[in-house]
Amino acid sequence: MPLSPQPPYVPRILGIDPGSQRTGVGIIDLDPAGRARHVHHATLHLTDNETFALRLKQIFDELGALIDAHRPDEVAIEKVFAQRNNAESVLKLGQARGAAICAVVARGLAVQEYGPKEIKQAVTGAGGADKVQVQHMVALLLALPQKPQPDAADALAIAITHAHTRASVARLGLPRTFWRRR
C-alpha cells in the first residue's frame, strides 16, 4: 500500500509587540508558497491591574494561554526601543518584554528578535514609517476587512517580518548575522 504524501509544513508564527500598558499579539500561518494568512490578533490591556507586577503576571499568563490555544511553531518579538528622554519607561518596557519572553520559553519555544526599523522596512518598505502606515500595510498584506488596533497591527507586522526573514535565510543559506554590513 503506497504511503500518502506528507502535507507541506505550514509554520504558525506568533508576533509580540510588548508594552507595559498594552501588549499586542498577532498570529499568522504561512502557506506552502510562503504567503501569510491571518489567524488571530488581539491587544492585552494591562492598565486595570493594581500594581505593575500584576501587569507582568497578566502578560505571562495571557500569552501562555494564547500559546497553548494556538500552538505557534515560531515566535518573534520587538526589541526594546530606547527613548533617551524616559529611562523609567524603557525599564518598564524591558520588564514587559521579559515577561513575554518567559511565557514563550516556558513552553519550549525559541524567540527571534527584530528592531522597530527592521519591522517597518519589511512591512512598508520604509524604516521610518508611522503607525498608520504599518496598520494599513498589515491590513493589506493579510486581506483584513479593517485596520487592526495599532498594538495588534505591530504584532502582526513582527510576525510578517519573521516570515520574510525566514524565507530569506532559507534562500541564502546564511544566518541573519551575516547580512549586517561590516
Q: In the annotation, is 78 catalytic?
A: yes
32-66 pLDDT per residue, tens: 888 999 999 999 999 999 999 999 999 999 999 99
Domain range for 36 is 12-174
Q: Rounded to two decimals, what is the model's pTM?
A: 0.90
Report if residue 181 sits inside a domain.
no
Give DSSP secondary structure letters for 80-133. Answer: P---TT-HHHHHHHHHHHHHHHHHHHTTT--EEEE-HHHHHHHHHS-TT--HHH
Report if residue 4 sits inside a domain.
no
Report if residue 123 sits inside a domain.
yes
Q: In the annotation, is 17 catalytic?
A: yes
Q: In the annotation, is 74 catalytic?
A: no
CATH code of 78's domain: 3.30.420.10
Choose among 27, 30, 29, 23: nearest CA to 47. Answer: 23
Q: How many CB atoms lie within 10 A of CB 83?
A: 10
Reading across the β-sheet that carries 36-45, which strands appear in turn? 36-45, 22-30, 12-17, 74-78, 111-114
96-129 pLDDT per residue, tens: 999 999 999 999 999 999 999 999 999 999 888 9
pLDDT at site 176: 62
Report if residue 1 sits inside a domain.
no
Catalytic residue among 29, 74, 118, 151, which? 151
Which range has the worst mean pLDDT, 29-43, 98-112, 145-159, 165-179?
Answer: 165-179
pLDDT at site 4: 64
- Tell me how far apart the alpha carbons of residues 36 and 67 are, in angstroms, rounded to a whole number: 19
Report if residue 74 sits inside a domain.
yes
Report if residue 139 sits inside a domain.
yes
pLDDT at site 175: 66
Catalytic residue among 17, 29, 74, 154, which? 17
Number of domains in the chain: 1
Report if residue 179 sits inside a domain.
no
Q: Is the dihedral of CA 42, 157, 10, 109 positive or negative?
A: negative
Catalytic residue among 29, 74, 78, 118, which? 78
Report if residue 50 sits inside a domain.
yes
Q: What's the mean pLDDT when you consider all of the chain?
A: 90
